[in-house]
Amino acid sequence: MKHLFNVFLFAVIYGGYLLLTNFLFGNDNLVAITGKAYYRNIIIKKELSSSQDSIETAVFTFRLMGNKKFFNLKMDIDKVHQGFNVFGGVNKALSDASEVTVSIRKGEANEDLPKVYKVVADGEIVYEIKKKPGDNAETFIMLVLIGVGGFVFYLLVNRKLI
89-129 pLDDT, tens digit each: 888 888 888 999 998 887 778 888 888 888 999 989 988 88
pLDDT at 132: 58
Q: How many CB atoms lie within 10 A of CB 1?
A: 9
Q: Decide if pLDDT at 22 tops 50.
A: yes
pLDDT score, position 141: 75
- Looking at the chain, the whole-number percentage of residues with pLDDT higher than 90 is 8
Residue 162 has pLDDT above 70, yes or no: no
pLDDT tens by residue, 28-49: 678 888 999 888 888 888 877 7
- 150: phi > 0 → left, psi -120 to 50 → alpha, else beta; which? alpha
**Could you tell me the end-to-end alpha-carbon distance of the chain, in angstroms, rounded to an integer?**
14
The answer to whether residues 29 and 109 touch, using CB atoms and an 8 Å cutoff, is no
State CA 159 to chain mean position distance: 44
Residue 100: per-residue pLDDT: 92
pLDDT at 147 over 70: yes
Q: What is the mean pLDDT of the chain?
A: 78
More confident residue, 116 or 139: 116
Which among 151, 154, 146 has a CA at the least distance from the CA of 15? Answer: 146
